[in-house]
Amino acid sequence: MTNPIGADHLTPLYVYDDAERQTLIEEAAQLPSVEISSAAAANAVMLGGGYFTPLQGYMNVADALGCADNMHMTDGRFFPVPILNLVESVAEIEGAARIALRDPNVDGSPVIAIQQVDRIETVSDEQMALMTEKVYRTLDNEHPGVAAFNGHGRYAISGPIQVLNFSYFETDFPDTFRTAVQIRNEIEQRGWKRVVAFQTRNPMHLAHEELCHMAMDRLNCDGLVIHMLLGKLKPGDIPAEVRDDAIRTMVKLYFPENSAIVTGYGFDMLYAGPREAVLHAYFRQNMGASHFIIGRDHAGVGDYYGAFDAQTIFDEEVPQDALEIEIFRADHTAWSNKLNRVVMMNEAPDHSKEDFVLLSGTRVREMLSEGIAPPKEFSRPEVAEILIKYYQSL
């Protein structure tokens, strides 16, 4: 297994001791509180689970600007994106040394964490623009990540946190949500040494399934961690519970026993393309993966990023010694009618576009909505059946 980043062991910020956590819950009820953004709540979940080791809480503005500009905090530590607690108003917490952070994603906005207030800073428009441009490579407010990031407020509350729960992820996805600590422990229990991770925010069709098999074979891996995003997505994306059902069905039927585990993490998608790919690699190393699959337009949206920008950033911008995890660089995969199997398209130079089974996302959604299963060369029938039920329920 890979080592955690910048630490000898993971540093999850969830308070595991029951008595201590209960004391903190009682303290939180007496503290000044603020409802935080969905993104900040997701950051608390990731910090709580050890994924962001060795961070101890939310960044101050100087550290956030450094991470955005050159992926380093002011003390020289590597981190690929700002981790901020941005709020619209601090009127209720001014002067407080400790505050309760309330979760906007759970009914009643219960407290998700307690934060020590090191600083409250106002982020200028120029600073927001710099961070936005560096992380998202655009200032276009039509970009869902840009719109979300710039809609959180301008007051940055920095300081360490103590996490009291994992929001709705643990209750809504009890069989799938796992912390970095839990995944690292399971990898160790299974005796896996070389582990490849696969990121997904969508159901996995045949090409994704075969890409995972290719990576495992070529890297001589002992196991695969399918690690799906369970947090907030953009409108139109398939809900996590449907993806979970489809992926579990695929793994049960088409992967050998003890070769793959299906897990998920509580984070809101940034759609930040290359920068998000680096963040994805960062926390996959912390959870114990030795390799990470990055394909075309990883974590992208629209036409904001080049097809392979999420791969070349590791050559051009990530310091050589920053990450131990290795990247498996994949091209678009599709069924070849010539070879009767799924191939990476860049490994079939004698093929024309017509030699592949290619369907647009729009066409697939139309077919599923009409109760038509995509061809078996595109999607496993058992997966298609689950997706048809979902689309026809809309």
pTM score, whole prediction = 0.95
Burial of 171 by CB count in 10 Å (0-12 exposed, 13-18 middle, 19+ buried)?
exposed
Cβ(337)–Cβ(356) under 8 Å? yes
Quickly state the pLDDT bin for 361 (edges 50, 70, 90).
confident
Please determine, for residue 162, whether its predicted confidence score (pLDDT) is greater than 90. yes
What is the secondary structure of 296-356 as a DSSP string? Answer: TTTT--TTSS-TTHHHHHHHHTS-TTS--SEEEE---EEEETTTTEEEEGGG-TT--GGGE
Distance CA 183, CA 225 (A): 9
Q: What pLDDT was estimated at residue 236?
A: 78
Please determine, for residue 225, whether its predicted confidence score (pLDDT) is greater than 80. yes
pLDDT tens figures, 164-207: 999 999 999 999 999 999 999 999 999 999 999 999 988 999 99
Please determine, for residue 220, whether its predicted confidence score (pLDDT) is greater than 80. yes
Residue % of the chain over a pLDDT of 70: 100
Quickly state the pLDDT bin for 235 (edges 50, 70, 90).
confident
The set of catalytic residues is 201-202
Residue % of the chain over a pLDDT of 90: 95
Domains of the chain and any CATH numbers: 18-170 (3.10.400.10), 174-393 (3.40.50.620)
Nearest residue to 162 via CA among 261, 257, 44, 71: 44
C-alpha dihedral sign at 242, 243, 244, 245 = positive
End-to-end CA distance of the chain: give it in Å, rounded: 43
Distance CA 209, CA 272 (A): 24
pLDDT tens figures, 29-69: 999 999 999 999 999 999 999 999 999 999 999 999 999 99
Which residue's structure tokens are 């997701």?
42
Cβ(90)–Cβ(157) under 8 Å? yes
Q: What pLDDT was estimated at residue 240?
A: 86
Mean pLDDT of the chain: 96
Q: What pLDDT was estimated at residue 237?
A: 81
